[in-house]
Amino acid sequence: MKVNSIKGMHDLFSYQVQNWKQIENLIHNFFEIHGYNEIRTPMVEKAELFKRVIGDETDIVNKEMYSWEDQSGDWISLRPELTAPSVRSYIEHNMDKLNKVTKLFYIGPAFRRERPQKGRQRQFYQYGVEAIGSEYPEQDAEVISMAYNIFDMLGVDDLKLVINSVGSTETKKKYSNILKNYLSDYIHDLSDVSKHRYANNPLRILDSKSENEQSIIKEAPSIIDSLNDFEKKHFNQVQRFLDKLNIPYTIDNQLVRGLDYYTLTTFEIRSGSIGSQDALCGGGRYNNLVEQLGGKPVPAIGFAAGMERLMMALDLDNENKDLKIDVFIVAVGDDAITNSLKICDTLRNQLGIKVMMDFSRSSFKSQMRQANKLNAEYVIILGEEEIKRKVGTIKTMSTGNQFEAPLDTIHKHFDVEPSKDDQ
């Protein structure tokens, strides 16, 4: 019986990898010109890290983490996101000593055992940034505008940036009580999931997708009214800077996000072009997290975006780019094969030419078909006749022109474009 891949985890084929690499390079450059440095953290961390950072009562930690007890008895988890590992590394390696503000970026896989559907996988790639060290709204504006400008630069349609402020931990607590008070009149109308959240994490009820609950929530007191003067000023300044940077946004006071670490600014960028899983990216401030994980009280903000969703929005994944090679060597017979191995080696190593040969000992005809399929620009034919005379035939596939060249110097014809004068 064959063994297939795990549900929600996908292979990327050559044509996709080519597209991905191109987009990844653009993202790398984009982050680098903003002064962010790449970090690569391990794929697995102690489970406790995510419990403490993301929150015990979140879906991610509660239901979606791949965790297991390893041989030493430690509980470890595949990372469901990259903020917690980045902050762990920042503290562990005393990055605060190097710069006042540490600016990190990452691109790598994350794992969540969610119900797979279009735009939602169990292994997906995230790219993102974490700016650790500044409490000021200009830092919020930089991070939000970077998130937005990547999509804009790549030409993603129908972008919608939504921002909110959830205030400090105290404000969130205060508002949770106000919200609970309001919802207590509707407790019997809430789903079981929301009833559970009512008791453990009431802010998350604001995220409910149910129409009935949405109509209840619409009338709920707004978190904005619970913000203190400092928090209101911070939020206003973020908006002012975004206006200056010409970044269009709307305010949604229900945007609390599914991870517990956020304070003050939260944001999401959505696109109508990718279906129901429309969040291209999400982020926000997490001013208490570094201290909560044993570091100094250092404020921070970041975002992460899903690569698969970006590729879907760009509609690149369906484009099957044809392979194209420079030279294909058609070799028939043992001596020809020996020679073609040598010529491949020389062309690749001395001239950097993309060259392939047949490894299935196929017939002459079938090898020519392979050359065509690979869009080879030139074919070198090494038949038994040619080998006896110590020559090879170079054929230009587009014109059908061909000429013979001595075997030991045949590679020299590819140092410059082979032309008729060579014949």
Question: Which chain residues interact with ligand HAM by CB under 6 A?
Answer: 81, 83, 112, 114, 120-121, 124, 126, 128, 130, 258-259, 279-284, 302-306, 308-309
CB of 110 to ligand HAM, least distance (A): 7
Shortest Å, Cβ 335 to ligand HAM:
53
Residue 84: half-sphere exposure toward Cβ, Cα within 13 Å: 26
Among residues 266, 306, 304, the alpha carbon closest in space to that of 286 is found at 266
Q: Is 312 helix (H, G, I), strand (E, B) or coil?
A: helix
Query: With contact defined as beta carbons under 8 Å apart, do 45 and 69 qualify?
Result: no
Kindly write down the DSSP assignment for every residue of 201-227, as one continuous string: -GGGGGG---HHHHHHHHTSPPGGGG-
Contacts 24+ apart (CB under 8 A), 394-400: 394/418, 397/371, 397/372
Q: How many residues does the chain have?
A: 423
Amino acid at 315: D
CB burial readout 359-382, b (16+ within 10 A) else e: eeeeeeeebbebbeebebbbbbbb
- CA quadruple 170, 173, 175, 181: dihedral positive or negative? negative
Signed CA dihedral, 396, 397, 403, 405: sign only: positive
Neighbours of 227 (CB within 10 A): 21
Which residue lies nearer to ligand HAM by CB, 308 or 326? 308
Instruction: Say what angle helices 14-33 and 137-154 make with each other, to 10 degrees.
Output: 140
Q: Closest CB to ligand HAM among 128 and 137?
A: 128
Angle at which helix 229-244 crosses helix 137-154, to 10 degrees, equals 40
Q: Which is nearer to ligand HAM, 52 or 309 (CB)?
A: 309
DSSP 41-82: --SEEEHHHHHHHH-TTSHIIIII--EEE-TTS-EEEE-S-S
392, 407 in Cβ contact below 8 A? yes
For the CB of residue 91, give the shortest distance to ligand HAM in the complex, in Å. 15
**What burial class does residue 31 get, using C-beta atoms within 10 Å of its C-beta: 0-12 exposed, 13-18 middle, 19+ buried?**
buried
Token pair for residue 42? 């391990």
Q: Which is nearer to ligand HAM, 205 or 310 (CB)?
A: 310
Q: CB of residue 309 vs ligand HAM: minimum separation in angstroms?
A: 4
Check: CB of residue 231 under 8 Å from CB of residue 287.
Answer: no
Residue with tokens 């790449």: 38
Cα angle value 378/380/382 (rounded, 5°):
165
CB 259 → ligand HAM: shortest distance, Å? 6
